[in-house]
Structure 1
Amino acid sequence: MAAARGGRSRGNRVDDLEMRQLRSDLDRNFKPIFDRHGPEGVALGELQREMQEEGITDKISKRRLNQLLDRADHNDDNMITYTEFVNLMTSDEGLTKSERSAFRSFLGAAIANIVPQSLRNDFLANYNCRPPPLFIIIMSTAEIVIFGVYAAELAKQGTPVTATSGVPMYSPLVYTPRRRYEAWRYLTYMFIHQGFLHILSNMIFQLLFGLPLEIVHKWWRVMVVYLCGVIAGSLAHSVTDHSVALVGASGGVYALLGAHLAAVATNWKEMNYKCCEGNIARVLLSAPVRLFIILTLVVPDTSLAIYRRVTAPEDQKVGVSAHIGGFLTGESVAGYPVLKNIKKLPWETTLGWVTMAVFLLLVAFAVLFNGLYKGYPATDWS
């Protein structure tokens, strides 16, 4: 009997030691993160969303995650404090060993991406590189590599690429109205460019505007905006320019510009936070300066696109309506429902739903138009 009691005592001492180690680990790694949010804690809804975006649902189901977080919110105020988090992590009826491991892996990054209420008026507080901005870099690299490969091919064929000419119209990536049945062309045309100026301007624009968007809104949101812009650009072109080919990433690039303009509009006050206190960085990143830069870059680039459309030889003409389709997609559709809004107002939420509905209706119209309109050039089935 004595031996049995001794065994239970040693077991209790081990449990107590593990508990002290766990609490020490939580104090060291998680308390500073919670402290940034003050005694009120972290908003339950934001924490659920951020943890899902970080990928915890690969380890814990969404339903189970919400159940655990709801259980942690002991006083039902829709906020998770550090004390409530510790209680969840150390409760015998809380997390399993695998769930506890998942929380330790994902919760820190999720909370770090949530801006404390005390900093909600400062847009710059949303800038962080967790996760790093990789989508725009990967897309830019792919577009540059493909441009270089085709430029080398065209040089061998005796038609070298110049500042404003040089398009491999034979490429299976180009959108051409005669081969509209090859649906991938509505997306892959973004990898082909017409001359050095075309790809140079697109790369500058998407790096200049895409990277800051990724740092604030994360790569998956920017990817949605970019690809929606590419598809909307080709659909807009196919409806308005029936006999002309389309190349270039301008649909995606202009979606980024439109999304940036939407971000400026919805976060105007937050972008101007303390911008008049002599800090040159805040001045340069303020809403009026951003708006000025967007307009300064968009007008000449669009003018150059129109010039190329008018002056290029008939078999080398490319469309410009993709600029408009991409810009409107980013500004009024993807910009409101997809990107983060630091302080969302009710009218902005309503506008997001309305613009999303309009976007889907226009896409449906363009798809039907492509299938039913008889004025396209004869299909090339070769």
Structure 2
Amino acid sequence: MFGVGVVNEEWDNMMDVEPPEHELDPENTGFIPVENFTSLVEHHELQLDPSKLDMLLALVQSNEEGQVCYQELIELMSSKRSSSFRRAIANGRRTLQREILLDETGLGLYKRFVRYVAYEILPCETDRRWYFHQNRLCPPPVFIAVVTIVQIIVFMCYGIMLNKWVLQTYQPDFMKSPLVYHPGHRAQVWRFFSYMFMHVGLEQLGFNALLQLMIGVPLEMVHGILRISLLYMAGVLAGSLTVSITDMRAPVVGGSGGVYALCSAHLANVVMNWAGMRCPYKLLRMILALVCMSSEVGRAVWLRFSPPLPSSGPQPSFMAHLSGAVVGISMGLLILRSYEESLQKQCSWWVIVFSFITFLLFAIFWNIFAYELLGVQIPPPP
């Protein structure tokens, strides 16, 4: 087994200064006896990453059968996303040598921010320490930042062009934008995504931008751009498709579907791991977040059914908020709970993906056939 795969340079160098492989695994079973492994870890001449050394020492004590799986060692040393090291430590009889991250002293501004993010997002001290020590500046959390900047630029351009900064949807020229989702233009597929760059007014933009920066950037720093962008865009798409099914006459503007996907996933993760979360004032922050989200939904409902100027413009739907929250609780919660694990290896992930694809196919056929079959009178597109 010691000839399988390519291990990183640290491990190769360790092997160069230690006993031959037949002494470490004399029976070629793929497992290393704890006594041999302890000697290898504690007496090697290299200075390993402190977090990796902590994990290795904990791994030594974790197996009741007195042996260490070589494949788990490979995954740990190569820093792959895997639950192997976490499981080894969780099942072990000793704790890690280092104190909790909050006791770390002499940290720079960036490392203090990384420590804050670790305690804000991750419920397990082992996960927090692993993230803290392996965190790198590249790739930076650019997705949420870029989306927010584009939303602000688009809003300012339309604000200047329309000379209106509040309730822009009541400006007749606003709905002529090629970015707005309108049921009369549903054949233009990009509108099911591009509506996230348009906003009703300054208050909706400010609320969405603040939430997605405060919650989305830390989430992207921990879980990566692919997972968070997938979650955000799934919320955006689910928002417009849900409106096209449940509120067939209403247009959609705003990034609330994606924002609520992020927020609901994070809040659900905090609730599910309440005892392990160490973010400060978590109860107060939870209450404030729920109040803000509820008031935003209430405001959207009010604009839909009791608009201030009902004859002067369309009333965008509020269903995008709710569908984004559903996406966050289902898909997002699994993503946030699988920090070390590959999503592709989890049956529940494929169940969620299959459900989302089924919903997507149903919504496509609905948009093609249902409007004509049901005789829905769509407001004329601008």
Among residues 356, 361, 365, which one is paired with 1:359 in the alignment? 356
Aligned letter for 2:57?
Answer: P
Corresponding letter in the other structure for 1:180 = R
Amino acid at match of 1:161: W
Can you list the C-alpha shifts for 1:74-97, whole angstroms capped at 9, x where unaligned? 964432279x96xxxxxxxxxxxx
> What's the counterpart of residue 78 of structure 1?
71
Partner Cα distance (2:131, 2:377) in 1 = 48
The worse-fitting range, judged by mean Cα deviation, of 260-269 and 115-124 is: 115-124
Q: Which residue of 1 aligns with 2:116?
A: none
Q: Distance in 2 between matches of 1:371 and 1:181?
A: 9
* Length, aligned pairs only: 287
Q: Please state if 1:150 is matched with 2:158.
A: yes
| Pairing partner for 2:53 from 15, 35, 41 | 35
Instruction: Select 2:316's aligned residue among 307, 315, 318.
Output: 318
Shift of 1:191: 0.4
Which of 141, 160, 163 aligns to 1:133? It is: 141
Partner of residue 247, structure 1: 253
Q: Which residues of structure 2 form unaligned runs of 5+?
A: 1-12, 18-43, 61-66, 90-95, 101-122
Distance 1:182 1:320 in 2: 21
Query: Quick one: distance in 2 between partners of 1:320 and 1:199?
Result: 15
Is the CA contact (8 Å cut-off) linking 2:249 and 2:378 kept in structure 1? no
- Residue pairs, 1:277-356, within 5 angstroms: 282-284=279-281, 286=282, 288-310=283-305, 311=307, 312-314=309-311, 315-336=313-334, 338-341=335-338, 352-356=349-353
Change (3 A) 1:192 1:381: closer
Aligned-partner SS, 1:316? coil
CA–CA distance in structure 2, aligned partners of residues 170 and 27 of structure 1: 69
Task: Letter of the 1:35 partner, please give it.
Answer: L
Q: Is the 8 A contact 2:200 2:254 kept in 1?
A: yes
What is the percentage of aligned positions where both structures have the same residue? 29
Residues 147-173 of structure 1 show CA distances to partners (whole Å, capped at 9, x for unaligned) of 111111112xxxx22267556111100
In 2, Cα distance between equivalents of 1:254 and 1:126:
28
Aligned residue type for 1:79: E
Closer/same/farther in 2, CA of residues 152 and 134 from structure 1, 3 Å limit: same
1:192 to 198, 215, 218: 198
CA deviation string 1:245-280 (max 9, x = no partner)? 110001111111121123224433321xxx5xxxxx
Contact 2:260 2:321 in 1 (8 A): yes
Indicate how the Cα distance of structure 1 residues 109 and 78 shifts in structure 2: closer, same or farther if over 3 A, else same: closer
Query: Contact conserved, 1:230 with 1:249, CA < 8 A, in 2?
Result: yes
Shift of 1:354: 4.0
Cα distance in 2 between the residues matched to 1:39 and 1:179: 61
Segment drifting more, 131-140 vs 306-315: 306-315
Asked if the contact 2:256/2:324 (under 8 Å) is kept, the reply is: yes
Which residue of structure 2 aligns with residue 368 of structure 1?
365
Structure 1 segment 22-61 matched on structure 2, within 5 A: 30-40=48-58
Which secondary structure does the structure 1 equivalent of 2:275 belong to? helix
8 Å contact from structure 2 (residues 51, 129) kept in 1: no
Structure-2 separation of matches of 1:318 and 1:27: 66
- Matched with 1:213 is 219
Deviation at 1:135, TM superposition (A): 1.3
Provide the secondary structure at the position in 2 that maps to 1:37: helix
User: How far off its partner does 1:229 sit?
Assistant: 0.1
Q: 1:199, CA displacement in angstroms? A: 0.5
Other structure's SS at 1:269 match: coil
Offset of residue 205 of structure 1: 1.3
Separation (CA, whole Å) in 2 of partners of 1:340 and 1:293:
23
For 1:127 and 1:198, locate their aligned partners in 2 and report how far apart those are by CA, in whole Å.
34
What's the offset of the Cα at 1:368? 1.5
* Structure that is richer in helix per residue: 1
Following superposition, the deviation at residue 209 of structure 1 comes to 1.6
Give the C-alpha shift of residue 189 in structure 1: 0.3
Is 2:236 aligned against 1:230? yes
CA contact (8 A) 1:143 1:191 kept: yes
Mapped to 1, the partners of 2:214 and 2:259 lie a distance apart of: 10
Distance between the aligned counterparts of 2:241 and 2:68, measured in 1?
51
CA distance in 1, matches of 2:350, 2:271: 17
Q: Secondary structure at the match of 2:203?
A: helix
Report the equivalent of 1:180.
186
The answer for the alignment partner of 1:121 in structure 2 is 124
RMSD of the TM alignment (CA)?
Answer: 3.7
CA shift in 2, pair 1:355/1:268, >3 Å: farther
TM-score norm. by structure 1 comes to 0.64
Quote the Cα distance in structure 2 between the aligned partners of 1:194 and 1:335.
29
The Cα shift of 1:207 comes to 1.1
